[in-house]
């Protein structure tokens, strides 16, 4: 399995601080927008100095990439399963629509940032 940027972020300090950084970035990007959010905003939200935040991330763009990746990863896997199934095309379409809705509703914060 290919190692992703999100995976490498999580291994730097275990999932705790890395996940907190991710969650706060999603929250702030959702509230302020990506362009209006500074790295300092994210550092303040997780209780780190800006320089210390770079121990966990290489850039604000990396966080945005992780949001895109996490937002699409599980949906992509599910759609691949649906496409590979022996179900008739109409059933595949129903399952694909359902998968989109389940992911969207289950991760609305991530998809709000993803779509904006």
Q: What CATH number is associated with residue 73?
A: 1.10.357.10
Supply the range of the domain harboring residue 90. Answer: 5-115
Q: How far apart are CA 46 and CA 37, in angstroms?
A: 14
Query: How many distinct structural domains can be found in the chain?
Result: 1
**51-98 pLDDT per residue, tens:** 999 999 999 999 999 988 988 888 899 999 999 999 999 999 999 999
pTM: 0.72
Long-range contacts formed by 99-103: CB under 8 A, 24+ apart: 99/75, 100/75, 103/71, 103/74, 103/75, 103/78
Q: Given this model, what pLDDT does residue 46 score?
A: 95
């Amino acid at each position: 399995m290919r190692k992703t940027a999100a995976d490498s972020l999580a291994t730097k300090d275990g999932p705790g601080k890395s996940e907190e950084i991710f969650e706060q970035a999603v929250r702030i990007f959702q509230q302020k927008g990506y362009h209006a959010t500074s790295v300092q905003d994210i550092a303040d939200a997780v209780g780190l100095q800006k320089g210390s935040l770079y121990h966990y991330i290489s850039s604000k763009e990396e966080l945005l990439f992780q949001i895109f990746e996490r937002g699409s990863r599980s949906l992509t896997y599910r759609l691949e399963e649906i496409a590979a199934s022996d179900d008739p095309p109409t059933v595949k379409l129903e399952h694909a629509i359902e998968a989109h809705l389940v992911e969207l509703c289950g991760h609305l914060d991530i998809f709000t940032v993803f779509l904006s």
